[in-house]
């Protein structure tokens, strides 16, 4: 982030200058290894939501332009009023051969790419996309040849003509290279098999394809224009269908299934293959990973049992039923019209047929729901239509489900599914942002939600980025999830991407407590045994094995990463931090190096630190004694990829634990037993 709100600025004499601030999202983008939970914490007003919004600018539903509040008010210097945000992926085998690939959004909403995309591959694919797009614009017009769309059925200009006007507007606006008098006239060419149509298509398509330039947002605006035109036709078709005597009543279903959804999908496909998307595609073809997944901004929905029922007259205003019928690709207007027909004819069989039709489509939604939730218990859905009301019913196995009686994790996922995930667009590598989730939940519910979000993210290989000050969303066994946001005296925000006791913040533990707005919050349970290790890699590996080893007392051990000890003042600061966390039952594990000797000497001389045990790391963890090479290499910190491998190992150890050798299990079991015995002595 550069000059974005209160991020990416630095003091420059009496004024300010642009700088940059980095937020690390996912630590590993390799196939099958992406995904996890990241928690942004910071005092109120520090800038947590600003960091979220920077990520949200890469959401596909977001307008390209920066808005007023994206421009900093800390400085009115022109250079500081040019926000710039970049999403990057660093591919590294070692520092000497690392490659950085980036998409940058600059002032004016312009995206740029580094390194540049391969133009030859892009141009070929773009031509294919344009061909697909425009052939379906014509498909829209083809169907207008049907007689029931003529003027005598509608009180406005034929839809054929109006869609033709939209097409010409698109050409005039977005095909700058065409001559000013170029125009499409499809009169007499609506039948796709006619020679006139084929000749027309041949003449104009090549001219259009070579000139058209459309952004994602422009595609969306064109879709809105098309929708406003065909909505009138759809309303007309509903009336014709419900009248039960129109000879063309099947035309509505044909139009929706063969034309509207087809062109909608193709427009979406074209939008996803603009320059932004194409660059990502080329990147994936080269590295077999996504550069930037889709970004979804989730604003918490809260559905109750009452929301799962609605009077049919109010169904289009129901948030839940609107989401449900979108998931089914089922037009709510059909439901409303069938009810109107039922009321007019007093034919209950009409509702029964409608109910059966909807329930035949629900298993697809239930299967998607179960796949994402991944519970041993399978859920099924059912619609029940009474004479005035519509009810959505849930079963777990053969049992009826009352939403309010279900576990917090299920309720949150149910809300998230029908508030965000119902259209099936979530893919591995995507990002979900959440601002202050779980603020209304009890302490046990917050802990359950944290566990659900973590498991969901890892299982589906997506990143969930939450801004929070809820202390119970934070786990001392998962300090690697934390990103600490703080402000200086000028209001400029910075982010600490790796929590260690010797972080760039002056008082790391105090900063965490302030970030949670609870100064006396106990990070660990009183009386726990605490082990301080040097690096985040060691922290990750030891907390990973804590999950899978069955040893009495192991859950009372907590680990904290120290960070690098450079100066004598670092040792004094470290001891202050250790006392804030735990005044007894503490042990420091360090390699047999200079820092180990200096800290050992300090604890012997300082009366307040004599209860802290300092132990030689090699006596606990000997790399040569770990036969599993994949784990042994995680202790190597020279390589960026190997360093970040520890995050993957920790996140996935429940699923890969069976592949660990007995020797490795025994070695780490001995490590924990040594820790317990050393502290108890």
The DSSP symbol for 82 reads -
Amino acid 196: pLDDT = 55
Backbone angles phi, psi at 102, to 5 degrees: -140, 150
Q: Which of 286, 297, 296 is nearest to 89 (CA)?
A: 286
CA distance 285 to 126: 16
Q: Which of 6, 1, 4 is nearest to 493 (CA)?
A: 6
Amino acid 294: pLDDT = 79
318 SS3 class: coil
CA distance 483 to 262: 43
Amino acid 146: pLDDT = 40
Amino acid 115: pLDDT = 63
Rg over CA atoms, the chain = 30
Is the torsion defined by CA of 154, 156, 161, 163 positive or negative?
Answer: negative
What residue ranges in 196-317 does DSSP mark as E strands? Answer: 295-298, 309-311
Q: Dump the DSSP string for 340-389.
A: HHHHHHT-HHHHHHHHHHHHHHHHHHHHHHHHHH--SS-EEEEEEE-SSE
88 SS3 class: strand
* List of the chain residues with pLDDT < 50: 62, 94-95, 116-127, 129-130, 140-156, 179, 186-193, 197, 206, 209-210, 241-249, 252, 271, 273, 506, 508, 517-518, 635-642
Taking phi over 0 as left and psi of -120 to 50 as alpha, with beta for the rest, 468 belongs to: beta
**CB count in 10 Å sphere of residue 401:** 20
CA distance 142 to 191: 6
Amino acid 573: pLDDT = 83
Task: Name the token pair of 486.
Answer: 């703080």
Amino acid 331: pLDDT = 85
Q: Which of 422, 174, 137 is nearest to 274 (CA)?
A: 174
Q: Please calculate the CA angle 49-50-53 and round it to the nearest 5 degrees.
A: 85
Q: Within 13 A of 508's CA, how many CA atoms are on the CB side?
A: 27
Amino acid 394: pLDDT = 97
CA distance 665 to 628: 10
Kindly provide the b/e burial profile for residues 258-290, where b requires at least 16 CB atoms within 10 angstroms of the residue's own CB.
ebbeebeebbbebbbbbbbbbbbbbbeeebebb
Q: Please calculate the CA angle 556-42-418 and round it to the nearest 5 degrees.
A: 85
CA distance 656 to 665: 13
Q: Tokens 């129109």 sit at which residue?
A: 246
| Residues present in the chain in total | 681
What residue ranges in 425-505 does DSSP mark as E strands? Answer: 431-435, 463-467, 482-487, 493-496
Q: How far apart are the first and last CA of the chain?
A: 50
Q: Could you give the C-alpha distances from 78 to 61, 71, 471, 494, 666, in angstroms and in order?
A: 29, 11, 40, 22, 62
Task: Name the token pair of 348.
Answer: 């209950």
The DSSP symbol for 665 reads H
Where do the structural domains in the chain lie, given as residue ranges? Answer: 9-116+428-494, 123-293, 296-421, 524-680
For residue range 452-500, list pLDDT tens digits in order: 899 989 988 889 999 988 888 888 899 999 999 989 999 999 999 988 8
Pick the CATH number of 9-116+428-494 from 3.30.1340, 3.40.50, 2.60.40, 3.30.1120: 3.40.50
Amino acid 183: pLDDT = 53
């Amino acid at each position: 982030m550069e000059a974005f709100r209160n991020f990416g600025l630095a003091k420059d004499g009496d004024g300010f200058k642009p700088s940059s601030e980095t937020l690390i999202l996912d630590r590993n983008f390799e196939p099958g290894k992406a995904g996890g939970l990241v928690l942004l914490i910071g005092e109120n007003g520090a800038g947590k939501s600003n960091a979220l919004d920077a990520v949200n600018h890469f959401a596909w539903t977001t307008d390209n332009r920066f808005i007023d509040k994206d421009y900093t008010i800390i400085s009115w210097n022109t250079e500081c009023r040019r926000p710039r945000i970049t999403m990057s992926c660093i591919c590294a085998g070692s520092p000497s051969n690392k490659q950085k690939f980036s998409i940058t959004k600059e002032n004016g909403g312009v995206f740029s790419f580094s390194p540049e995309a391969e133009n030859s591959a892009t141009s070929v694919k773009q031509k294919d996309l344009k061909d697909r797009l425009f052939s379906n614009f014509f498909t829209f017009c083809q169907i207008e040849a049907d007689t029931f769309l003529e003027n005598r059925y509608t009180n406005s200009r034929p839809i054929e003509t109006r869609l033709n006007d939209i097409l010409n507007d698109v050409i005039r606006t977005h095909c700058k290279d065409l001559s000013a008098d170029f125009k499409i006239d499809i009169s007499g060419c609506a039948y796709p098999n006619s020679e006139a149509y084929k000749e027309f298509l041949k003449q104009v398509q090549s001219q259009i394809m070579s000139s058209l330039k459309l952004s994602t947002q422009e595609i969306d605006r064109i879709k809105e224009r098309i929708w406003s035109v065909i909505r009138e036709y759809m309303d007309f078709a509903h009336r014709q269908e419900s009248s039960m005597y129109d000879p063309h009543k099947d035309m509505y279903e044909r139009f929706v299934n063969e034309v509207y959804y087809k062109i909608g999908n193709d427009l979406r496909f074209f939008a996803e293959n603009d320059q932004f998307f194409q660059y990502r595609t080329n990147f994936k073809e080269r590295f077999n990973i996504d550069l930037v997944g889709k970004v979804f901004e989730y604003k918490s929905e809260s559905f109750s049992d009452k929301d799962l029922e609605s009077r049919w007259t109010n169904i289009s205003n129901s948030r839940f039923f609107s989401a449900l019928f979108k998931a089914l690709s089922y037009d709510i207007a059909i439901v409303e019209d069938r009810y109107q027909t039922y009321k007019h004819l007093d034919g209950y069989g009409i509702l029964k047929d409608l109910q059966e039709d909807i329930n035949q489509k629900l298993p697809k939604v239930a299967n998607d729901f179960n796949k994402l939730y991944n519970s041993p218990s399978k859920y099924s859905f059912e619609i029940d239509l009474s004479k005035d009301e519509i009810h959505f019913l849930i079963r777990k196995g053969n049992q009826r489900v009352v939403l309010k009686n279900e576990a917090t994790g299920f309720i949150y996922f149910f809300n998230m599914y029908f508030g965000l995930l119902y259209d099936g667009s979530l893919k591995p590598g995507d990002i979900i942002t959440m601002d202050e989730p779980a603020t209304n939940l009890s302490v046990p519910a917050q802990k359950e939600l944290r566990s659900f979000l973590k498991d969901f993210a890892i299982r589906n290989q997506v990143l969930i980025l939450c801004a929070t000050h809820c202390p119970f969303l934070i786990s001392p066994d998962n300090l690697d999830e934390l990103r600490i946001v703080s402000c200086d005296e000028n209001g400029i925000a910075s982010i600490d991407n790796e929590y260690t006791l010797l972080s760039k913040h002056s008082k790391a533990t105090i900063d965490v407590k302030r970030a949670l707005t609870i100064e006396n919050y106990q990070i660990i349970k009183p009386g726990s045994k605490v082990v301080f290790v040097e690096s985040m890699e060691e922290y990750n590996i030891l907390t990973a094995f804590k999950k899978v080893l069955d040893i009495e007392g192991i859950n009372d051990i907590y680990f904290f990463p120290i960070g690098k000890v450079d100066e004598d003042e670092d040792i004094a600061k470290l001891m202050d931090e250790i006392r804030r966390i735990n005044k007894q039952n503490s042990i420091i594990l360090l390699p047999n190096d200079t820092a180990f000797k200096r800290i050992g000497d300090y604890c012997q001389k300082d009366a307040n630190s004599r209860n802290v045990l300092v132990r030689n790391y090699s006596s606990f963890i000997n790399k040569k004694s770990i036969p599993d090479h994949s784990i042994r290499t995680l202790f190597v910190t020279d390589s960026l990829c190997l360093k970040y491998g520890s995050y993957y190992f920790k996140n996935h150890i429940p699923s890969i634990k069976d592949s660990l050798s007995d020797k490795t299990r025994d070695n780490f079991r001995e490590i924990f037993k040594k820790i317990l015995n050393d502290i108890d002595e």
